[in-house]
Amino acid sequence: MKRQFFFLQILKYPNKRYQIFKNQQQLIKIQILILQLICNKQIIIQVFSKFYSKKMDTTEAPQIIEHLNKTLTFTPYDVKWIPQTAKFVLCGQHPKATGTIQIHQLTKNELQVTRDIQHPKGIKCSTFGACLPNKADLAFGDFNGEMNIVDLETGKIYYSVKAHNTLVNAIDGIGGLDIGYGAPEIVTAGRDGCVRVWDPRQKAPVLSLEPSDKESVPDAWCVAFGNSYNNEERVLAAGYDNVTQRMVLQVLNLIEKIQL
């Protein structure tokens, strides 16, 4: 069997805000010049022609260049930057169907793996959305339908729950890291078509949205929190096969259903 190799690529995106601001200043100067020369239509035309006919120099445009790359021995499914650090976590699955969470330290010349946390099942998705400030707690969903929270400093899982019957497709968090208002919560979407909201302080789901048709169950592919602008308002968006749904958690009823 031919072995597959996966690569991790780090890209740099230069900041061109100063260049844009500089161009805006040039435009303001031209506008002032036009007002000063308002009586001379010929000069106005020449100024506009010179400004707009100038072709864009592609060397001044924002460019994405490769900074570092690294060969991997597993299939990567998700990557997240650790808040307020130059580190990121890489989650995936080994060929033997076990999972891994690698913590990579970004340096000038290379990527250093500072910790490699092994998991019995492959890992599909992760989030820091419910992580409290000054913490490094990663919530992740695996191929066995479990949702876990691991302390990256110790490498130990302190919260684990059977979230879905099978694969957890997507996960999101809110209430931590100054993201939105209210208590920290985690939402998961699974292959079983269910979307469930979890409070890390208890094992039972806060909310469970399950498909009405048990014979034809659509995958719940993606999920996200949002619109949390006070302690009472919180909106949940979930994407299924051919359907997008948006739920208001305050009243727990469906307010919008869109056929894609």
Residues 207, 197: contact at Cβ < 8 Å?
A: yes
Phi and psi torsions of 46, nearest 5°: -65, -40
The pLDDT tens digits for 81-134 are 998 888 999 999 999 999 999 999 988 788 899 999 999 999 999 999 999 888
For the chain, the domains span 17-60, 66-259
Confidence of residue 135 (pLDDT cuts 50, 70, 90): confident
Considering only CA atoms, which of 221, 95, 212 is closest in space to residue 167? 221
Average pLDDT, the chain: 78
* pLDDT surpassing 50 at residue 252: no
Q: Which CATH architecture has domain 66-259?
A: 7 Propeller (2.130)
Confidence of residue 62 (pLDDT cuts 50, 70, 90): confident
The pLDDT tens digits for 5-31 are 555 555 555 554 444 444 555 555 555
The whole-angstrom separation of Cα 206 and Cα 193 is: 17
The whole-angstrom separation of Cα 103 and Cα 215 is: 41
Pairwise pLDDT comparison (168 vs 55), residue with the higher score: 168
* pLDDT surpassing 80 at residue 164: yes
* pLDDT surpassing 90 at residue 67: no
Q: For residue 198, with 0-12 CB atoms within 10 Å meaning exposed, 13-18 middle and 19 or more buried, which class applies?
A: buried
The confidence score (pLDDT) of residue 211 equals 85
The sign of the CA dihedral 161, 163, 165, 168 is negative
Residues 23, 16: contact at Cβ < 8 Å?
A: no
Hey, what amino acid is at 171?
Answer: I
pTM: 0.72
Residues 123, 91: contact at Cβ < 8 Å?
A: yes
The confidence score (pLDDT) of residue 223 equals 92
